[in-house]
Amino acid sequence: MCGIAGKLYFDRARPVERPILEAMNRVLAHRGPDDDGIFHDGAIGLAHRRLSIVDLSPAGHQPMSNAAGTLWITFNGEIYNFPELRKELESAGVAFRSHTDTEVLLALWEREGPACLSRVYGMFAFGLWDARRRTLVLARDRAGKKPLHYYVDHEKALFASEPKGIHVDPGVPMEPDLTAIDHYLTYGYVPTPMSAFRGLSKVPPGHYVEIAGTGDVRVSRYWRLQYRPKLSLSEDEACERLRACLREAIRRRLIADVPLGAFLSGGVDSSAVVALMSELTGGPVKTFSVGFEDDAYNELPWARRIAEMYATEHHEFVVKPDAVAILPEIVWHYNEPFADSSAIPTYYLSALARRHVTVALNGDAGDEDFAGYERYRLHHLTTTWDVAITPVKKALTLAVKALPAGAPRSRRERIRRYCDDAMTETRRRYARWVSIVPPAVKAELYSPAFRHATASVDPLDVLLRAYAMADTPDLVDATLGADVGTYLPDDLLVKVDIASMAHGLEARSPLIDHDVMELAAVLPSDFKLRGRDKKHIFKRAMRGLVPDAILQRPKQGFGVPIAGWLRAPLRTMVEETLFGRAARERGLFAPSALRRLVDEHDRGVSEHHPQLWALLMLELWFARFIDAPRMSTSA
């Protein structure tokens, strides 16, 4: 894993400032603590910070060029099938100077251009300068595991793994994009290709961007997950194929010249990864888990069960309320406002793992592949509303809403939320269900100026477009596809990438291997969601490898006891941050509506912790990136 960055002036006679490239490397040093490099040739400059995983020798130094010096690349990630590709290229007469995957990718690009992206297995983001075409190419892996941000104006283009790598350039504005902030308050993250910073964009997963020396920009897609045609096979055949596919995906991710381990939550996905790792390595796997003092959020006993079953070298950490002291540090690393509170335990988990290993496998994407969230089941159930006559819908809705409120995460409260949207179109209903700050709350919370600035765009359209891109009439598959296009790359993968890279740790995710994702997509939807049984085929395939008690227990998720923290250890921070002078002068929110949210949560009248956490992280982001003095290019 690495940090990458670069700058291009469209005026050939204007040289890129070397101090800017050096500053880019400094601000991304956490992503690559082992080495740094710069390629500087007139109007183009590339920067690189290296975390050495494969070929630890100086031969892996980047930026790297082809033999003719006409192609230069700064690469972040891992190409897992590079040994096979290398053999193919060597048989065609290509000579290599190193044993890196970067050099293999560069040679493959030289022969095939963008078509080579469909041939590589892995997670990656890279910037490639083609001197002959005078074109800068930015590319990102299929699922969006590795991040890549860019900025283009009339005179220049810049890119970096993180926005802060771009903002070291004083010629790039560092201002908030209020439309993106509105989207953030809807989803808890800023959806791709938007950025919280005005003028910045993200390269979408499965895409590459070509920026010509003239300033023209072209965005192209090279991969899309297809949910049809469906495979026709028995469950036994599906289980056999799935086990073989996942085993191969894990085998690919065991290639490294440094110590490896695994995150272990005690859930189905990470348990399956550890089980197959133990089988493939033949020795004890180093495993890492975090938990909480609150039993409702603590999965450590389940993780220990798997650790004992496979005799792993197990390490644990308990996250306590005083851990919120690291919030400013987390805000700095995440670059954009980010409301997934599980970033906190993920940050500590990465720090724990890095003390023992350099690479850690995890179980990310299992729920999006195989329908593991309770919301998928509930959403599927609500389709029965759509065939009911309207008077019956209204009567049932009123009856359910009249019931006493349940606990925030209870089934009753989830059903109540669904009933609020019972009359809404199916896909829009799901979009509203996953919203953090729903439209009705925004109407009270937003100031007139903020409401006016964001009135022309509906944030729910992001998820509705993702639904359409899934291109399937099956509601379960379409919903999985919508989350694969939004929640997975913009929340889950961002969370792990930033937390792990903050500590110089490489996180690998076998369940986002595109072979695994493509197999899961073309399985019949009732193989994934069958009645109350979520992840049906995956759990059946893992039977015997993972204890039945873990396969059958309700999904707990990587939750954090934020509701209680906001009433106690974080209460002072909430008051000082949300009602402080800077927030008041910003004028985005109505103070009376904000006070109501805080007071009702304090008294336990309503559970507003998702909204309050999102608002708190937003204001901390403003304080760190918008209000604070700009980063200097000097050392």
Model confidence pLDDT, tens digit, residues 562-613: 999 999 889 999 999 999 999 999 999 999 999 999 999 999 988 999 999 9
- DSSP one-letter code for 222: -
Which pLDDT score, from 0 to 100, does residue 224 have?
97
CA-to-CA dists, residue 199 to 5, 178, 193, 202, 586, angstroms:
17, 12, 11, 10, 20
Residue at token pair 């590319």 = 139
Residue 161's nearest CA partner among 120, 123, 127, 111 is 127
Which pLDDT score, from 0 to 100, does residue 409 have?
44
Residue 181's nearest CA partner among 193, 194, 170, 168 is 194
Give the up-direction half-sphere exposure of residue 316: CA atoms within 13 A in the CB hemisphere. Answer: 16
Which pLDDT score, from 0 to 100, does residue 415 have?
62
What would you measure as the largest C-alpha separation in the chain, in angstroms?
75
- Other C-beta atoms within 10 Å of 116: how many? 19
CA 69 to chain centre: 34
CA-to-CA dists, residue 403 to 22, 34, 413, 571, angstroms:
61, 59, 10, 31
3-state secondary structure 332-359: HHHCCCCCCCCHHHHHHHHHHHHCCCCE
CA 280 to chain centre: 27
Q: Which residues are catalytic?
A: 2
Evaluate whether 164 touches 334 at the Cβ level (below 8 Å): no
- Alpha-carbon dihedral sign for residues 506, 335, 288, 272: negative
Tally helices (H) and strands (E) across the chain: 30, 17
Evaluate whether 155 touches 110 at the Cβ level (below 8 Å): no
pLDDT digits (tens, 9 = 90+) for 106-156: 999 999 999 999 999 999 999 999 999 999 999 999 999 999 999 999 999
Which pLDDT score, from 0 to 100, does residue 140 have?
98
Which pLDDT score, from 0 to 100, does residue 255 have?
87
- DSSP one-letter code for 459: T
149, amino acid identity = H
CA distance 74 to 148: 12
What structural domains does the chain harbor?
2-221 (3.60.20.10), 235-371+482-552 (3.40.50.620), 374-444+458-475 (no CATH), 562-627 (no CATH)
At 618 the three-state DSSP class reads: helix
> Which value, to the nearest 10 degrees, does the dihedral of the CA atoms of residues 17, 19, 21, 22 take?
160
At 344 the three-state DSSP class reads: helix
Which pLDDT score, from 0 to 100, does residue 401 have?
62
Which pLDDT score, from 0 to 100, does residue 387 have?
62
Token pair for residue 406? 């349940």
* Under-70 pLDDT residues of the chain: 1, 52-59, 323, 384-423, 557-558, 632-635
Q: What is the pTM of this model?
A: 0.93
CA-to-CA dists, residue 244 to 240, 554, 602, angstroms:
6, 26, 51
Which pLDDT score, from 0 to 100, does residue 61 have?
87
Q: Which residues contact 448 (CB under 8 A, 6 or more apart)?
A: none
Residue 524's nearest CA partner among 236, 240, 237, 228 is 228
Residue at token pair 């209204």 = 394
Q: Beginning with the edge strand found earlier in the chain, give each strand of the sheet holding 71-79 in spatial order.
A: 64-65, 71-79, 122-130, 135-140, 207-212, 217-221
CA distance 443 to 578: 18
Which pLDDT score, from 0 to 100, does residue 368 have?
98
Give the up-direction half-sphere exposure of residue 553: CA atoms within 13 A in the CB hemisphere. Answer: 16
CA distance 439 to 454: 12
**3-state DSSP: the chain helix, strand, coil percent, rounded to 5?**
50, 15, 35
Which pLDDT score, from 0 to 100, does residue 34 have?
84
320, amino acid identity = K
Residue at token pair 């490896």 = 260
> Which value, to the nearest 10 degrees, does the dihedral of the CA atoms of residues 335, 338, 341, 346 take?
-40
